[in-house]
Homo-oligomer: A and B are copies of this chain.
Amino acid sequence: MAKQKKAPRPKAETPKGFRDYFAAEVTERAEMLQKIAGVYHRYGFDALESSAVETVEALGKFLPDVDRPNEGVFAWQEDDDDGRGDWLALRYDLTAPLARVYAQHRNDLPTPYRRYAMGPVWRNEKPGPGRYRQFYQCDADTVGAASVAADAEICSMLSDTLEEVGIPRGDYIVRVNNRKVLNGVLETIGLEDDELRASVLRTIDKFDKVGETGVRELLGKGRLDASGAYIDGVGLSDAQIQPVLEFVNAFAAVQGKLALEASRALEEGATDRAQQLDRARYAVSPEFRDTPEIANDEEAKKIWTTRVLDHLQDLIGNSTVGFEGVKELRQISELLLAQGYGPNRIMIDPSVVRGLGYYTGPVFEAELTFEIFDEKGRKRQFGSVAGGGRYDDLVKRFTGQEVPATGVSIGVDRLLAALREKGRIQSHATGPVVVTVMDRDRMVDYQAMVAELRNAGIRAEVYLGNPKNFGNQLKYADKRQSPVAVIEGGDEKANGVVQIKDLVLGARIAKNATLEEWKERPSQFEVPRSDLIAKVREILEGQADA
């Protein structure tokens, strides 16, 4: 008889583009999210947890970066008898579900509705290094408030949040722009076509990557990219490109103007004025943003903001939508300045466009400005950790009525990486006290010890593997990063004592100490069984102080 073939063993692998998170990775994220939730709550935002699964119909097609292949969602069709079940999908962000939730529950929800949400989202994209198909987002949105005060609030909340989780002032900047201003500029150059406008938007968004020259080429005929491939341009004329670039480069233009004014003031002998104009000029420069002379000069910050807004005003000509956009930015700035959020924390920056097609007004982006070394060992700024804006059309898809909405999404993993980079994460890597097993028939004694330790609030466990090899038990304690091991063999039991090993000190002595130090500072202590808790606590406290 032929041998029956066994089914092959399943592979123990996460699907491509997915990963597992262990121990401190999980708890550190949870703690950061809890701090963020605290700020959101203080601002009056309520928690919302919608289901991970939505109908494809409800999700709609608002995925960013629509020009990338393999874009999309994880979707499947519901089983039903006639094969016409609904198509369901995993949510790809937290905004599309919010629009659905608000449309569904709008009669029960307060208006405006401020909500925050935290959780995983899924993207059916080609995975790459450090690029996962499941990741966390953390959003806050206000639905039903047309006032730009709602946008300003999102910006100040974002600023507070970054400081709350441990990014010091000066190490971040929240940039604000307004789609309407850009639309105004495009109106002045006679660009009405929506497709063309979207292309311009996507091109400007590459400013950080390809620089001014690159954007100029891409807005015009096109350019050779680094790989040698020719990228077709949007096809604007030079006369059309110029105002767009002046818009994107407003930052540099205003700095230039202020430098000119300052040197004129100096010529006229108005030294104080010249110095203030100089401070205004550097109000948003990363290298000076946290110097007290600038951060505390309210007048300089006001000058900066006013000049940027005036510059934009010039660019939008007679455009009504452009005028409205500048007015909104002016209101946002006033509100923020009145609450103490100057341009050293939140600044107007016309180079921010945000890729998503659905934004209709103000857009925001939070960037961390300290430097890190990238994979290739080059210094670069950490970059963006959050973004958002106003989207007045998302709920309308469901209800037919326009519902104003604005919000922000924090890139949880990037922010966590930044905090680790800055050493702002309290380490939770400390393992439990390990009670070793010298005599497997006395498990009852060891369990009683560990119960005592736990009842005293000390993280502790009995070694539950095969106790035969004592060396394995200490190796295990080492792998667990245990601070202390407890040993009670037959002799100890008979004498009513236990051995307590300070594993942290032990490791340090083993590494560095001379023989004299070794003798002077023993890392193992014999104490009466009744002193177990007190001695363990003493050692743990000593380690915490060290």
Q: Does A26 contact B (CB under 8 A)?
A: yes
Query: Are B104 and A14 in contact (CB-based, < 8 A)?
Result: yes
- Residues of the B chain whose Cβ atoms lie less than 8 Å from the Cβ of A11: 55, 57-58, 398
Closest B residue to A467 by CB, please name it. B147
| C-alpha gap A66/B404 in the complex (Å) | 48
- Residues of the B chain whose Cβ atoms lie less than 8 Å from the Cβ of A462: 149, 153
Residue interface mask A392-413, B partner, CB < 8 A = 1: 0000011110000000000000
Looking at the assembled complex, report how far the CB atom of A81 sits from the nearest CB atom of chain B, in whole angstroms.
11
A304-335 interface (Cβ within 8 A of B)? 331, 334-335
Query: Are B55 and A13 in contact (CB-based, < 8 A)?
Result: yes
Q: Does A114 contact B (CB under 8 A)?
A: yes
- Residues of the B chain whose Cβ atoms lie less than 8 Å from the Cβ of A144: 465
Query: Are A21 and B9 in contact (CB-based, < 8 A)?
Result: no
- Residues of the B chain whose Cβ atoms lie less than 8 Å from the Cβ of A34: 30
Given A147-B443, A454-B43, A461-B43, also A10-B397 (CB < 8 A) = yes
| C-alpha gap A90/B48 in the complex (Å) | 22
Query: Are A338 and B76 in contact (CB-based, < 8 A)?
Result: no
Q: Does A471 contact B (CB under 8 A)?
A: no
| C-alpha gap A26/B45 in the complex (Å) | 13
- Residues of the B chain whose Cβ atoms lie less than 8 Å from the Cβ of A461: 43-44, 114, 153
Given A447-B149, A457-B42, A464-B150, also A49-B70 (CB < 8 A) = no
| C-alpha gap A432/B88 in the complex (Å) | 36
- Residues of the B chain whose Cβ atoms lie less than 8 Å from the Cβ of A339: 447-448, 451
| C-alpha gap A188/B341 in the complex (Å) | 79
- Residues of the B chain whose Cβ atoms lie less than 8 Å from the Cβ of A156: 451
Looking at the assembled complex, report how far the CB atom of A176 sits from the nearest CB atom of chain B, in whole angstroms.
15
Q: Does A20 contact B (CB under 8 A)?
A: yes
- Residues of the B chain whose Cβ atoms lie less than 8 Å from the Cβ of A451: 156, 339-340
Q: Does A226 contact B (CB under 8 A)?
A: no
Given A398-B9, A476-B110, also A443-B335 (CB < 8 A) = yes
Chain A count of residues within 8 A CB distance of the other chain: 102
Query: Are B443 and A44 in contact (CB-based, < 8 A)?
Result: no
| C-alpha gap A337/B202 in the complex (Å) | 68
Closest B residue to A440 by CB, please name it. B147
- Residues of the B chain whose Cβ atoms lie less than 8 Å from the Cβ of A479: 110
Q: Does A468 contact B (CB under 8 A)?
A: no
Query: Are B15 and A88 in contact (CB-based, < 8 A)?
Result: yes
The 3 nearest A-B residue pairs measured at CB: A44-B461, A12-B103, A44-B432
Q: List 26 A-B contacts (CB under 8 A).
A: A10-B397, A10-B398, A12-B103, A14-B50, A15-B54, A20-B49, A20-B101, A20-B104, A26-B47, A26-B49, A30-B47, A42-B457, A44-B459, A44-B460, A52-B122, A52-B134, A79-B124, A90-B90, A110-B476, A149-B443, A149-B447, A153-B447, A153-B462, A160-B454, A331-B443, A338-B444
A10-B57, A20-B48 known, 4 other contacts, Cβ within 8 Å: A41-B459, A44-B432, A112-B464, A335-B444
User: Which residues of A approach B to under 8 Å, CB–CB?
Assistant: 9-16, 18-23, 25-27, 30, 34, 37, 41-44, 46-55, 57-58, 60, 70, 74-76, 78-79, 86, 88, 90, 100-101, 103-105, 110-112, 114, 120, 122, 124, 133-134, 142, 144-147, 149-150, 152-153, 156, 160, 331, 334-335, 338-340, 397-400, 431-432, 443-445, 447-448, 451, 454, 457-462, 464-466, 476, 479-480
